[in-house]
Amino acid sequence: MDTGGRTMGTALEPIELPDWAWERAEVREALRARDIGAVFRHTQQYAGASQARIATATGMTQARVSEIISGRREVSRLDVYERIADGLHMPDDARHLLGLAASRERRAGGAAFDLAAFPEVVRVYAAQNSAAQEIQQLARSATELDVLAVRGLGLIGLNDSLLRACLPREQGGQGLRVRVALLDPDSDALARRAAEIGESAESLASGVRLAEARLRELADAGDVGVWRYRMLPTWRLIRTDGTMFVGAFDSGWEGHESALYKVMDTPHGPLYRGFRRMFEAVIDGARRTI
């Protein structure tokens, strides 16, 4: 049947959401939460699919689909998630958010992936200043904040640094656990890093000590801890709950000049978990000073 030039889909017509629909934040969040009712509602919205079409595509009755959409029934079985993913022709990145293997994994036993198959890297910034506003917004609502830096002055040590405004002294950092790992000012690694960036070891070491002193002011009232590590710095990390911003130290640039990757916690992505494990290992091997 044709109405006003638009063909109305029948119950047997395959469901195809446009690629951009799977990339929308509300769809990604519904997949991550395994909220199938929301997934079905978005399918209705973006594919124009009726409950009957969704039912046929996913091997359910229309009554069951209606119950899921209205929130009267939840989906918990893995085989049902698989049927839904297949019926809605989910791309591999959407399947991963739902906690399922990619379709190519099932067919080929684990072929190489493109980035879309692991949607944990959701954005790349040219440098830290491009992401500053987003980092601050996330930090203000976070319950955990981890920082891995060299001296930390530009991140958290000074009044005008990136994260300091998110930790007002009058609130004492209440409700926020802050862990900061800084390069040990007495280590050989600091002297080597200073040489890499053309700065004296004394100047770099004094910057670390100044950051520690400023963080001590916050530690008197809030949950703030500072550690000194002794390895040559490679990664620069800011974690706010389930989101990380990761850059790199190199002989040719400071950490804030590095490209910055925004990495999200996902069921199958290795980067978030790997970087978080690395941070915990740095803390375990470091000396706590605050």
Q: Which pLDDT does position 164 carry in this prediction?
A: 83
Q: Which pLDDT does position 3 carry in this prediction?
A: 34
- Which of 38, 71, 100 is the C-terminal boundary of a domain? 100
d(C-alpha 182, C-alpha 209), whole Å: 9
Which CATH number goes with the domain that contains 138?
Answer: 3.30.870.10
Q: Is residue 69 part of a domain?
A: yes
Same domain, 85 and 126: no
Q: Dihedral sign, CA of 130, 136, 137, 141? A: positive
Same domain, 251 and 149: yes
Q: Is residue 221 part of a domain?
A: yes
Q: Which pLDDT does position 118 carry in this prediction?
A: 56
**Per the structure, how many domains does the chain have?**
2
Same domain, 128 and 232: yes
d(C-alpha 226, C-alpha 180), whole Å: 5
Q: Is residue 249 part of a domain?
A: yes
Same domain, 263 and 127: yes
pLDDT digits (tens, 9 = 90+) for 213-222: 989 988 776 7
Q: Which pLDDT does position 51 carry in this prediction?
A: 93
Return the amino acid letter for 283.
Answer: I
pLDDT digits (tens, 9 = 90+) for 2-34: 333 334 455 567 888 988 888 888 999 999 889
pLDDT digits (tens, 9 = 90+) for 46-86: 999 999 999 999 999 999 999 999 999 999 888 899 999 99
Q: Is residue 113 part of a domain?
A: no
Q: Is residue 2 part of a domain?
A: no
Q: Is residue 45 part of a domain?
A: yes
Return the ∠ at Cα 1 (arms to 17 and 68), rounded to 5°.
45
Same domain, 154 and 251: yes
Q: Is residue 237 part of a domain?
A: yes
- Which of 100, 130, 156 is the C-terminal boundary of a domain? 100
pLDDT digits (tens, 9 = 90+) for 183-215: 999 999 999 999 999 999 999 999 999 999 989
Structural domain span for residue 142: 121-288
d(C-alpha 124, C-alpha 255), whole Å: 15
* pLDDT band with cut points at 50, 70 and 90 for residue 168: low
- The gap from C-alpha 188 to its chain's centroid, in whole angstroms, comes to 33
